[in-house]
Amino acid sequence: MAYRLGVLTGDGIGPEIVTAAVQVLEAAARRDPQLGFEWVPLPMGWEAIRQTGSALPDSAVETLGRCDGWILGPHDSVSYPAAEREKLNPSGVLRRRFDLYANIRPARAYPGLRAVCSQMDLVIARENTEGFYADRNMAWGLGEFMPTPDVALAVGKITRQGSERIARTAFALARQRRKKVAIVHKANVLRKTFGLFLEVCRGVGAAFPDVAVEDYHIDAMTAHLVRRAADFDVIVAENMFGDILSDLTGELSGSLGMAPSINASATQAMAQASHGSAPDIAGKGIANPVGMILSAAMLLSWLGGERKDPAAADAGRAIERAVAAVLESGPRTRDLGGTAGTNEFTAALVQRLAR
C-alpha cells in the first residue's frame, strides 16, 4: 500500500530530524515491496511565514486533509512575529482542525543508556482537545480572559465524550501491553471536572475486565513516577496533566530528546516528537533524531492497525528494533554520550534496516 504523507519540517532542528525520519521510513519501505510512500512537502513555521506571512497557510492545512498522515517538525512559535504569536501555534491548529484527540507518548529506557529508571516502559494516553489548555477548549476564542488588568481567568472543559474516547484508547493500548491502566486526575479538589473524567474512565474500564485499573491524584503520580516508574504500564490523563507527566517520564527514561509521540483521530495521525525546536543547535548537524524517528515509526504502526496493513505495522516495529540496536551498540549522538552527528546516526539506522 502506498501512503500519502505530509512533511512539515518546521523550525530549528526540524529540517535535520524530519529529513532523518523520512530517510529511515524509506529504508524501512525498501524491505517490503508491499509498502510505499508519496511524500507531500508543505511549508510550516518560519519557512511558511517568509513565503505566505502565515506560520501554517490554509493551503497546507487543506492538503493535509487529503493525506493519510503527516510528520510535523518542531515549531519555534515564541520567535514568530507578534501577529503570529497571538494565534494558535501550528501544532494546536492541526490538533483542533483534525480532531486529533489522542496524544500517545511512550517513555522507554534503552539498554546501554543512562536513565533514572532503567526498567521504565510505559505509555501516556493524553486527551488532546480539551481540559485546561486554553488554546483548544472553547468554541470561540482561546478560553482565557481578563475582566480587569489585574485578574486573569482560564476556562477548563471536560466532556463525557472526550473522556470516554481517550479512556477507550488507553484501555485498548493496555490490552496490547501489560494490561494495567492508571487514571490520573485531581477529583479531590476539582470535583465536577475531574470528577467527571474519573467517573467516565472507570466506567470504560468496566468494559475491559481483563485490565487492572488504579487511579492517582496528579501530585501523587509525580512522586510515584520518580520512585517506581517501572510499575506503570498505561497512564491516561487530561490534556495539561498528560503534557506535564510525559515530559517527566521522557526525562526519567533517559532524555526528552528521545521522546516520541503521535496525535491521532479515528482516521488520521500526526507524528510529532515531544521536544522543541532547539534553536541553539540548529544547523550544526548534532541534533538527536531519535524522538522524531520513533514518532514516524509510531505513525507506521498506527497506519498498520487502522488500515489493517501488516506491512506498515512490520515496518514500524523494524524501525523500533533498529533504534534499540543502534542505541545499544553505537554510534550515539552527543547528548547520549557519543560523538556522532545527526547524519551519522541516521546512516547507522538505515544500514541496520538494510540487513
Q: What is the pLDDT of residues 231-287, one digit of tens each?
A: 999 999 999 999 999 999 999 998 888 999 999 998 999 999 989 999 999 999 999
**Domain-ending residue, one of 253, 269, 293:** 253
Residues 245 and 131 sit within 8 Å (Cβ to Cβ): no
Q: What pLDDT sits at residue 137?
A: 66
Q: What pLDDT sits at residue 138?
A: 72
- In terms of domains, do 297 and 269 share one? yes
- What's the Cα-to-Cα distance from 270 to each of 1, 11, 72, 172, rounded to whole Å? 19, 17, 7, 19
Q: What pLDDT sits at residue 252?
A: 94
- In terms of domains, do 230 and 277 share one? no
Q: Is residue 136's pLDDT more than 70? A: no
Q: Is residue 318's pLDDT more than 70? A: yes
Average pLDDT over residues 41-69: 97
Q: Is residue 355's pLDDT more than 80? A: yes
Q: Is residue 140's pLDDT more than 80? A: no
- In terms of domains, do 120 and 232 share one? yes
Task: Establish if 108 belongs to a structural domain.
Answer: no
Tell me the Ramachandran region of residue 36: left when phi exceeds 0, alpha when psi lies from -120 to 50, beta otherwise.
beta
Tell me the Ramachandran region of residue 292: left when phi exceeds 0, alpha when psi lies from -120 to 50, beta otherwise.
alpha
Query: What is the number of domains present in the chain?
Result: 2
- In terms of domains, do 125 and 245 share one? yes
Q: Which residue has the cell 498505561?
A: 234
If one compares 88 and 65, the residue with the highest pLDDT of the two is: 65
Which residues carry out catalysis?
A: 133, 186, 219, 243, 247
**Domain-ending residue, one of 253, 283, 316:** 253
Residue 232: φ, ψ to 5°: -100, 150
CATH number of the domain where residue 302 is located: 3.40.718.10
Residues 269 and 302 sit within 8 Å (Cβ to Cβ): yes
Residues 222 and 184 sit within 8 Å (Cβ to Cβ): no
Average pLDDT over residues 41-53: 96
Q: How confident is the model at residue 160 (pLDDT cuts 50, 70, 90)?
A: very high
What share of the chain in percent tops pLDDT 90? 87
- Cis amide bond preceding 331, omega within 30: yes
Q: How confident is the model at residue 190 (pLDDT cuts 50, 70, 90)?
A: very high
- In terms of domains, do 157 and 215 share one? yes
Q: What pLDDT sits at residue 208?
A: 98
**Which has the minimum average pLDDT: 36-40, 42-46, 134-138, 255-259?**
134-138
Q: Is the dihedral of CA 147, 148, 149, 151 positive or negative?
A: negative
Average pLDDT over residues 145-162: 93
- In terms of domains, do 132 and 169 share one? yes
Mean pLDDT, the chain, as a whole number? 94
In this structure, how many other beta carbons lie within 10 angstroms of the beta carbon of residue 65?
Answer: 10
Rounded to whole angstroms, the Cα distance separating 102 from 173 reads: 12
Q: What pLDDT sits at residue 256?
A: 84
- The torsion defined by the Cα of 8, 13, 18 and 24, in degrees rounded to 10, comes to 180
Q: What pLDDT sits at residue 87?
A: 86
Q: What pLDDT sits at residue 6?
A: 98
The predicted model scores a pTM of 0.93
Rounded to whole angstroms, the Cα distance separating 22 from 277 reads: 18
- In terms of domains, do 216 and 324 share one? no
Query: Hey, which bits of 51-91 come out as E strands?
Result: 69-72
- In terms of domains, do 72 and 38 share one? yes
- In terms of domains, do 119 and 177 share one? yes
**Which has the minimum average pLDDT: 107-116, 170-179, 295-304?**
107-116
Select from 205, 197, 271 the least CA-distant residue to 238: 197
Q: Which residue has the cell 497571538?
A: 86
Residues 307 and 316 sit within 8 Å (Cβ to Cβ): no
- In terms of domains, do 39 and 93 share one? yes
Rounded to whole angstroms, the Cα distance separating 235 from 230 reads: 12
What share of the chain in percent tops pLDDT 70? 98
- In terms of domains, do 344 and 299 share one? yes
Rounded to whole angstroms, the Cα distance separating 100 from 97 reads: 8
Rounded to whole angstroms, the Cα distance separating 203 from 158 reads: 15
Rounded to whole angstroms, the Cα distance separating 34 from 107 reads: 30
Average pLDDT over residues 6-18: 97
- In terms of domains, do 352 and 296 share one? yes
Domain with 317 in it: 1-101+259-355
Q: How confident is the model at residue 135 (pLDDT cuts 50, 70, 90)?
A: low
Q: How confident is the model at residue 134 (pLDDT cuts 50, 70, 90)?
A: low
**Domain-ending residue, one of 227, 253, 279:** 253
